[in-house]
Structure 1
Amino acid sequence: MRGFQTAWFLLFGIVITVAATSTGDSPAILNFRPSNVTLSSLYYWVGSYFNGTTHFEFSPYGELAASETGGCPALRNKTITKDYKTLLALTEPSTYNTANDPVNAFLTLWPLGFDFGTLPDEISFEISDSLDYAVYSSDPIFNNYSSKITPNNFIWSLEKTQVPPYNLSSVLTDYRGVLSTQDGADNSLQVNSTIANCSGTEVFSWQFAPLSYNTTYNGTNFANPVMNLQFDGQTANLSMKGYFSAISEYRTESVYQEGSVTFTGEFTMTFAGVIDLYHSDILRNDTATPTWLRTVGYQNNSLNVGYTSGSAGGQLVGPWSLAMIMVLSHVLLFFY
């Protein structure tokens, strides 16, 4: 009987070895991708990556509130829209994140038609001139991180579940982690629009900035924006709803200058995306919190970047592994 138990132990040891073989070098306690795959900084972490489009809708008030008609009546009852090509990275938290953080979310907005493949591998995407806007639940950390804890920019609340899809929500009390790279703006979004200014004689572009309750705009407090996220191994949906302020701007030579027209209103931001299998690890479907099986760089998923059919890593209990189990199990049963 002891020989039988030993044989079965060896059998399952072989299977586990096949599933866990790795050519990567990233420590298990960190969420960085191994160095044996060449990736831009957009795909730096273990997790799921979703490609899609983000749609903004801005509904201006005439002045400070929906009931007021003064200030800028030309904007009243108009809806300004803007779409962006988007990559949403939902990544595994690491030792540098705060405790009980279910997921890191990095939402990056780019011009429609932008090619992510043009981003240099050795340069952080955050400094790209093409990045229009971004929302980070915590600041992106790369391999040169320090050991200190990185604070959350906002706190996720995870709805209780045992399997995906995962539903998360957050109330944004400030706008750390919400930023734009345009013209050095902190958290504003430039929207070029053909909407006229308040006198109706000129055409402006506008800088939109979300408002939180912490912001007092001419004596008016605004409710905090609310963000909702739902995702599984195939799709992701993210939305944010709140209030904004905007200021007109105009271009002088190659520099935008602020104008004199300001207004407020409501905005919604919605993202719908599908999984990028080429850059994503496998999201497990049996855990109460988001958990990933590391595959990118580990040669165990033929759909991933860097996978080679003759690699040392085995597929995750693929056909060869199952065949080996069946053969060895019959041999063991014959002798024992």
Structure 2
Amino acid sequence: MMRQLHALQHALPLLFSITSTVLGKEDKYYNAGLNYRPENITGLDYYYYPWKGSYYNGTVAFTISSISFREDYNYDDEKLCSRLSNDYTYTFSYPGLLGITPTEGGDERPQNTNPLNVILSTSYSNFTKYFSDYNENGSMQIRDEFWIFESIDFSGVGGSPFRVLGTSDFGETNLLGFRMNMSSCTNSVSWWDAQWASEDWDDDEIDVENATLTLTFDSHSANFMLQGYIYAQVLNKDEEEETLPIDAKIKVEFLGNHDDARSDILNEGVPVSWTSTVGFGNNSANIDYETGGAGPVYGMLPGGLVWGLVGFVVGVGFL
């Protein structure tokens, strides 16, 4: 039924200028007890914006530094290359989208006891390549993502702007790895496979520390910084003997602007909370306001009459 409504929405914009609030508020899949938004919001990419909360657009910058070779892999005591050393720094970046939303036990996101969920996504195409109806092609959009961060354990949330501190426990939280195109001992450009390291992995005793998160946000901007260590090795089998695996420091930074069109209203005070607006036509800054802001119309037209109009137009369409 909902897919039929999506098709009707695109084919009959005049009808939906009258009934869009009905369909947004009365979406049969919408459950006010959970944090998910209605799924029939015009123009909303539901894959990236399914939850009530705040969203920010910006750039995610990765900085790799303080590189050291894993000596335990140097079985022949060969001289290490000079291309990679402690003064070598590699940086790269991708478009980023940060979502900060409530946490709830009934959610499908990773289990945690945090008061907030923080999800930072990166995209090859600036989140446009697989923009589509989530229910039709949502599984394709993950192919456009370079790296995703999901919540680690928070040690505190407070202040205004809101401030979040967190620390990863590798035994409980597995930060996703990534592949990067960095120099090697053999080539100026090589593909590497990088995984986040933890204190438990510090075989070389180089003072590896678990990843730490610092995040500040308000209704205007967000500043995200994740710092830790990675373990990385080249993917080309021909290079493995000449380029040993490495340990290195990593810093992931995101500075983003608040996405008024796709964010709910962030309330003041602790605990952090939001007033639902996206999908309800009650915030002129939201993406659905012009098509979904027909609240007074719904008040004037009985629900049965509205759905009768929908049935009438659909019936005419099949004549």
Distance 1:303 1:94, change over 3 A: same
Gaps of 5+ in 2: 1-23, 72-77, 297-319
Tell me if structure 2 keeps the 8 A contact 1:111–1:130.
yes
Tell me if structure 2 keeps the 8 A contact 1:247–1:258.
no
Alignment of 1:101-250 (within 5 A): 101-111=114-124, 113-115=126-128, 118-122=131-135, 123-124=137-138, 128-137=142-151, 154-161=152-159, 164-174=160-170, 176=173, 178-179=175-176, 187=177, 189-193=178-182, 195=183, 197-198=184-185, 200=186, 203-218=189-204, 222-250=208-236
What residue number does 1:23 align with?
25
What residue number does 1:272 align with?
255
SS in 1 for 2:83: helix
CA distance in 2, matches of 1:48, 1:310: 19
CA distance in 2, matches of 1:214, 1:47: 35
What residue number does 1:6 align with?
none
SS in 2 for 1:228: strand
CA distance in 2, matches of 1:99, 1:112: 30
Amino acid in the other structure paired with 2:82: P
CA distance in 2, matches of 1:235, 1:74: 38
Amino acid in the other structure paired with 1:278: A
Gaps of 5+ in 1: 1-21, 138-153, 180-186, 251-255, 315-336
Amino acid in the other structure paired with 2:83: A
SS in 2 for 1:74: coil
What is the CA distance between 1:221 and its match in structure 2? 6.1
What is the CA distance between 1:217 and its match in structure 2? 3.8
What residue number does 1:74 align with?
83
Distance 1:125 1:79, change over 3 A: farther
Tell me if structure 2 keeps the 8 A contact 1:24–1:297.
no
Amino acid in the other structure paired with 1:130: D
SS in 2 for 1:156: strand
Alignment TM-score, normalising by the size of structure 2: 0.70
Amino acid in the other structure paired with 2:134: D
Quote the RMSD (CA, aligned, Å): 2.9
Tell me if structure 2 keeps the 8 A contact 1:23–1:36.
no
- Identical aligned pairs, as a percentage? 27
Q: Match for 1:259 among 240, 243, 254? A: 240
1:41 maps to 2:50: no
SS in 2 for 1:245: strand
Amino acid in the other structure paired with 1:42: Y
What is the aligned residue count? 255
SS in 2 for 1:288: coil
What is the CA distance between 1:92 and its match in structure 2? 1.8
Tell me if structure 2 keeps the 8 A contact 1:83–1:112.
no
- CA deviations 1:202-259 (Å, max 9, x no partner) are 6422222221112244566621111111100110111011111111123xxxxx9983
Tell me if structure 2 keeps the 8 A contact 1:29–1:94.
no
Tell me if structure 1 keeps the 8 A contact 2:155–2:167.
no
Tell me if structure 2 keeps the 8 A contact 1:212–1:223.
yes
